[in-house]
Amino acid sequence: MAGRFPEVRPRRLRRTAALRRLVAQTSVRGADLVLPLFVKEGIPEPVPVASMPGVLQHTRDSLRKAAADAAEAGVGGLILFGIPAVKDGRGSAADAQDGIIQAALRDVAAEVGDDVVIMADLCLCEYTDHGHCGVLTPSGTVDNDATLERYAATAVAQARAGAHVVAPSGMMDGQVAAIRRALDEAGEPDVAICAYAVKYASSFYGPFRDAAEGAPQFGDRASYQQDPSAGDALREAMLDVAEGADIVIVKPALPYLDIVAQVAAAAPVPVAAYQVSGEYAMIEAAAAQGWLDRDRAIMETLTGIKRAGAGIILTYWAAEVAHHL
């Protein structure tokens, strides 16, 4: 019949794997991925994290090897978490020149140089004996302004140890401005800030707290992390951008893909999403039971996070996935 449109068959472009690759609008690259790594002071050999199969608390030597292997696989970055041998109320090891995180940063910088981006988690929960992300008042609440002073000192120590990027994750008000000012005054203006701008008080962090040994010894972090039902994600993200954040993170990833999309649409800086320990552990546990296809599930979740708008994805599968891409 004249004027009739041709029959539309979307399945034509799904018929073969090559066709599907050709028309794909979302792809995950190794360079998009950041690998979290844990290094623990004083252990003679790497320690497996029981709740995160395949993840280790590294020694300094095994950390160097893991960093080199990840760089060779083609990951975009590494983010380091330090676990000190001694903790105290102010997290003194966090900015100590000979502290585990500074030593680890120097080790990794010597191993991989500028081949990958070296990021340092900037928080106090791994370093305090109470497990909270900052300095406490006598009544046991987190003192925001006193904590900013500790973050500033830690940022400078991490920058001088070789971090290309510092990543404040404590969700203190004004943390980005305090850190930017401290870095600039210390002669480290080129060190970038990747701010945990939208970090929820989530149930998905449990395995991480095993790995980083940073669970709070009392109470919780609901007074400084965001509530899952709150609507202040964009406000938090844009405040961090205004204070000088070079990258902003949404954490966790999968339960908050709508937030990733909102922040990506509004923020004038790159947006990252952290596929957190609970997300990792769920897939590993289900795959171990034979309930799902592990490799397909990994790639499906990473593709979903990328499709939502995250240009950078922090994931414990980073090196494995980059190796196969």
**Strand 117-122 with 77-83, pairing:** parallel
Tokens found for residue 243: 């204070």
Rama region for 258: left / alpha / beta (φ>0; ψ in -120 to 50; rest): alpha
* C-beta of residue 49 within 8 angstroms of C-beta of residue 8: no
The predicted-structure confidence for 119-161, as pLDDT tens digits, reads as follows 999 999 999 999 898 999 999 899 999 999 999 999 999 999 9
Q: What's the whole-model pTM score? A: 0.94
Tokens found for residue 30: 């190794």
The predicted-structure confidence for 161-195, as pLDDT tens digits, reads as follows 999 999 999 989 999 999 999 999 999 999 999 99
Quick one: pLDDT at residue 73?
98
Contacts with 244 (C-beta within 8 Å, 6 or more apart), sequence order: 176, 177, 180, 193
* C-beta of residue 172 within 8 angstroms of C-beta of residue 151: yes
* C-beta of residue 231 within 8 angstroms of C-beta of residue 200: no
Determine how many CB atoms are found less than 10 A away from the CB of residue 309. 18
The predicted-structure confidence for 78-122, as pLDDT tens digits, reads as follows 999 999 999 999 999 999 999 999 999 999 999 999 999 999 999
- Tell me which residue of 301, 314, 226, 231 sits closest to 273, measured CA to CA: 314
Q: Mind telling me the catalytic residues?
A: 199, 251
Render 13-76 in DSSP notation, one character per residue.
GGSSHHHHHHH-S----GGGEEEEEEEETT-SS-EE-TTSTT-EEE-HHHHHHHHHHHHHHT-S
Contacts with 127 (C-beta within 8 Å, 6 or more apart), sequence order: 82, 84, 87, 88, 91, 92, 93, 94
Quick one: pLDDT at residue 243?
98
Give the whole-angstrom CA distance, residue 297 versus residue 294. 5
Quick one: pLDDT at residue 5?
67
Say whether domain 27-247 belongs to CATH 3.20.20.70: yes
Rama region for 174: left / alpha / beta (φ>0; ψ in -120 to 50; rest): left
3 state DSSP class of 268 = coil
- For the chain, give every domain's residue range: 27-247
The predicted-structure confidence for 237-262, as pLDDT tens digits, reads as follows 999 999 999 999 999 999 999 999 99
